[in-house]
A and B are shown apart, each in its own frame.
Chain A
Amino acid sequence: MPDRKKKERLPVNLSVNLGGIALNNPVTVASGTFGYGHEYEEFVDLDRLGAVIVKGTTLEPRCGNPPPRIVETPGGMLNAIGLENPGVEVFINEHLPYLQQKGATIIVNIAGNTVEDYAALAGILDGEEGIAGLEVNISCPNVEKGGLQFGTDPEMVKEVVAGIKESTKLPVIVKLSPNVTDIVSIAKAAVTAGADALSLINTVLGMAIDVEGRRPVLANIFGGLSGPAIKPIAVRMVYQVAREVDVPILGMGGIMSHLDALEFILAGATAISIGTGNFVKPDIAQQVIRDLENYLEEHGIMNINELIGAAIQ
């Protein structure tokens, strides 16, 4: 806590509990936008963040999609990285120690192509020290079901989540895809299967066309839209889900300021993630924490938990 000489201020309480994960404050950094933390060394004190959610991790290394992988769009960007990552073993040996040493609250984002992949990953990470919880990316194709995304079908969601819960004692946050017709039914399926928390939203499926070249800009053709452009969709989904389920929500999508963060919290999110914002302002997460603190002080709100879901009608 910084010492405050001039103005006597009462300490505000920013700490929240995300399905069994105690966070110092509700501000986390989103998977795939913060690498393994060391990339932001000069800009952010990792132990100040609510949590660091690391890049999507798979059982085996993945080399990702061919370039071009990103394209800027109005108020946002499309990405088709293709889950490039060195695999869970390299993560544990080369990246986890750094995060532990920095005192970060570590949440590992996992991804797979079969129910067994997810369960195996959860089992491997269960034994590792310093991991606070798992975030499960279910926006992945299920190779056993012809590539249909896990996250689009309530039955597949249940199967994946149940498999993970059996393999780990760690809190499990299920990350929902917005690319579904009924997000509430997917959310309920995840909770029924034992999800301790939900996180939403992942990127919105989109595409851009190179008019001169008369072809898609991204080599992968489609990509995931992120950034301020998706914020209203994300806030709406958090609100819809918060009304219907009892587990805490980690809200994200286009957060660029403490006011954006507050929108999510008022819509029902217990904590938030900053994703694309890190690319624009590498120190944004820490700034949002400071601004949230000031906001609460100025508004005489002693505990941020008072605001969670306060806008739900």
Chain B
Amino acid sequence: MRKVEQALIIRHREIVPRYFELEFIAPDIARDALPGQFVHIRVTKSLDPLLRRPFGIYNVEKKIGSVTVFYKVVGRGTKILSDFHTAETLDVLGPLGRPFSIPPNLRRAVLVGGGVGIAPLVYLARVLCERKVEVMVLLGGSTSGFLVGRDILKRMGIDHMVSTDDGSEGLRGRVTELLEKIIDRKRFDYIYSCGPEPMMARVTEIAQEYGIDGELSLEEHMACGIGACLGCAKEVVRDGRRSFAKVCTDGPVFKIGEVVFRA
């Protein structure tokens, strides 16, 4: 069930410049949160900036009722958010959106993430492992220090490979090249992806070429986050017909092939 909670911040750290990990206590949200869902956060009690900011769920600790998000400071709202301290409270709405689905007989999944888009895949990886699915996470980042989620994956003992734009770690190049390199050998039966749109467009091509199903998580500017304003429309193809879907409630997770990417 969706809730608004006044969430107590218990951890807020700048991991590398402009990338923050934020953990807060929101027991109702933590109880119901599924991988792929997001929270919608008010970054001020004043009326400017007015709208909430959406962030994917990066981790959940059900025992203590905490939710963690991982975000990058890109503008005014995220800058204001980054100034919150431990022991302060945040107004959080969630969990929102359609989660990743986990096909019943899934055995081997590959998760492909770029930049801060890796965030929701980390929670997914954890849940898949708990369900005994074999998981490989492919992480793409600009440079070695900016590989979102690598430490937590290491800690949880989840298999992962990396690519960096500058070659400072792992494969030099794009994370989709990494996917192409291993996809032949690994016989994945499902692909999950989140990151920049050109990356997901390429993931779609590769998935279709190899005939593997999967899901993508999209972003769009949002107002309500709960399906009421119709502001977050994205073009999708369903049953061969083009239409607009709401990223907040029809998504953010969509099936590979449903999403129309513009060049």
List chain A residues, Cβ under 8 A from B52.
Answer: 279-280
List chain B residues, Cβ under 8 A from A66.
Answer: 233, 235
**A residues within 8 Å of B by Cβ?**
32-35, 39-40, 42-43, 55, 63-72, 74-77, 79, 81, 84, 227-228, 256, 276, 278-283
CB distance from A86 to the nearest CB of B (A): 11
For the complex, give the distance between the alpha carbons of A71 and B234 in Å.
15
Contact partner of B223 (CB less than 8 A), chosen from A40, A63, A77, A256, is: A77
B233 touches A75 (CB 8 A): no
CB distance from B144 to the nearest CB of A (A): 28
Q: How many residues of B contact A (CB 8 A)?
A: 30
Given A39-B227, A282-B226, the answer on whether A71 and B221 have CB atoms closer than 8 Å is yes
For the complex, give the distance between the alpha carbons of A276 and B50 in Å.
9
Contact partner of A256 (CB less than 8 A), chosen from B1, B4, B47, is: B47
Q: Which of B3-61 contact A (CB under 8 A)?
A: 3-4, 42, 47-52
A75 touches B228 (CB 8 A): no
Given A70-B223, A70-B229, the answer on whether A279 and B51 have CB atoms closer than 8 Å is yes
A-B contact pairs, 8 of them (CB 8 A): A35-B229, A39-B226, A63-B243, A64-B230, A67-B232, A69-B230, A84-B230, A228-B48
| Interface Cβ pair total, 8 Å cutoff | 97
A280 touches B230 (CB 8 A): no
List chain A residues, Cβ under 8 A from B226.
Answer: 39-40, 282
Q: Which 10 pairs of residues, A with B, have the shortest CB-CB distance?
A: A70-B231, A35-B228, A39-B228, A279-B224, A279-B223, A228-B47, A75-B48, A39-B227, A81-B230, A67-B233
CB distance from B93 to the nearest CB of A (A): 7
Given A279-B223, A279-B228, the answer on whether A72 and B49 have CB atoms closer than 8 Å is yes
A279 touches B243 (CB 8 A): no
CB distance from B239 to the nearest CB of A (A): 15
List chain A residues, Cβ under 8 A from B220.
Answer: 67-68
A68 touches B230 (CB 8 A): no
A280 touches B229 (CB 8 A): no
For the complex, give the distance between the alpha carbons of A66 and B231 in Å.
10
- Chain B residue at minimum C-beta to C-beta distance from A36: B228
Q: Is the C-beta of B238 less than 8 angstroms from some C-beta in chain A?
A: no
B224 touches A42 (CB 8 A): no
For the complex, give the distance between the alpha carbons of A77 and B50 in Å.
8
A64 touches B244 (CB 8 A): yes
Contact partner of A42 (CB less than 8 A), chosen from B3, B48, B233, B244, is: B3
B231 touches A69 (CB 8 A): yes
B221 touches A70 (CB 8 A): yes
Contact partner of B229 (CB less than 8 A), chosen from A33, A72, A256, A281, is: A33
B231 touches A81 (CB 8 A): yes
CB distance from A85 to the nearest CB of B (A): 9
CB distance from B68 to the nearest CB of A (A): 23
List chain A residues, Cβ under 8 A from B244.
Answer: 63-64, 67, 84
For the complex, give the distance between the alpha carbons of A35 and B232 in Å.
14
A40 touches B228 (CB 8 A): yes
List chain A residues, Cβ under 8 A from B49.
Answer: 72
For the complex, give the distance between the alpha carbons of A67 and B261 in Å.
13
List chain A residues, Cβ under 8 A from B186.
Answer: none
For the complex, give the distance between the alpha carbons of A63 and B241 in Å.
12
List chain A residues, Cβ under 8 A from B224.
Answer: 33, 39, 278-279, 282
List chain A residues, Cβ under 8 A from B85.
Answer: none
- Chain B residue at minimum C-beta to C-beta distance from A217: B221
B4 touches A282 (CB 8 A): yes
- Chain B residue at minimum C-beta to C-beta distance from A38: B227
- Chain B residue at minimum C-beta to C-beta distance from A257: B47
List chain A residues, Cβ under 8 A from B234.
Answer: 67
Q: Is the C-beta of B132 less than 8 angstroms from some C-beta in chain A?
A: no
Q: Is the C-beta of B187 less than 8 angstroms from some C-beta in chain A?
A: no
List chain B residues, Cβ under 8 A from A278.
Answer: 224, 228
CB distance from B252 to the nearest CB of A (A): 14
List chain B residues, Cβ under 8 A from A227.
Answer: 47, 50
- Chain B residue at minimum C-beta to C-beta distance from A34: B228
Q: Is the C-beta of B2 less than 8 angstroms from some C-beta in chain A?
A: yes
Indicate with 1 or 0, residue by residue over B85-111, a CB within 8 angstroms of chain A CB atoms. 000000001000000000000000000
From B47, B52, B229, name the one whose CB has the most chain A CB atoms within 10 angstroms: B229
List chain B residues, Cβ under 8 A from A34.
Answer: 228
Known: A42-B3, A67-B233. 13 other contacts (CB 8 A): A39-B224, A39-B227, A55-B230, A64-B244, A65-B233, A67-B220, A68-B221, A75-B47, A77-B50, A227-B47, A228-B50, A279-B51, A280-B42
- Chain B residue at minimum C-beta to C-beta distance from A228: B47
- Chain A residue at minimum C-beta to C-beta distance from B77: A72
- Chain B residue at minimum C-beta to C-beta distance from A35: B228
Q: Which of B201-231 contact A (CB under 8 A)?
A: 220-231
List chain B residues, Cβ under 8 A from A65.
Answer: 233
